[in-house]
Amino acid sequence: MKAIYLVTTILFLAFVSCQSQSVKTSIDASTFNTKMTTLKNAIVLDVRTPEEYTNGYIGKALNIDYESDAFEKEISRLDKSKTYLLYCESGGRSKSALEVMHEQGFRNVFELNGGMEKWVDSKLPVSTKPD
């Protein structure tokens, strides 16, 4: 009887684990824009280099360079209860940054599939700082 209970419990936990991993975290530009404008606690993170950020960014994005030695330390200071919308130039760094954030316990993290390139292709607004 204990063996049946153990097998049932293991199968249930495996099912729940697979279900929780099926949450779509890579989103298209339109969905990213909708989340950015409708979620009150959403924070947009640009994980590109400061030079790339200066050339144009999305919304009021914070810039935390994924390639910086301080990336994980800076991310660890963020509020884990917020929703984060990540992007880079083409999607590679933001996918990696999302994984780092999940490892640190962030659960509401989405990344822009195709990055800034897809954002611009979708003709969505790009912000720049005045000179």
Residues catalogued as catalytic: 88
Token digits of residue 27: 């989103």
Secondary structure (3-state) at 108? coil
Measured from the Cβ of residue 89, the count of other Cβ atoms closer than 10 Å reads 16
Rounded Cα gap, residues 104 and 51, in angstroms: 27
Dihedral of CA 115/126/97/85: which sign? negative
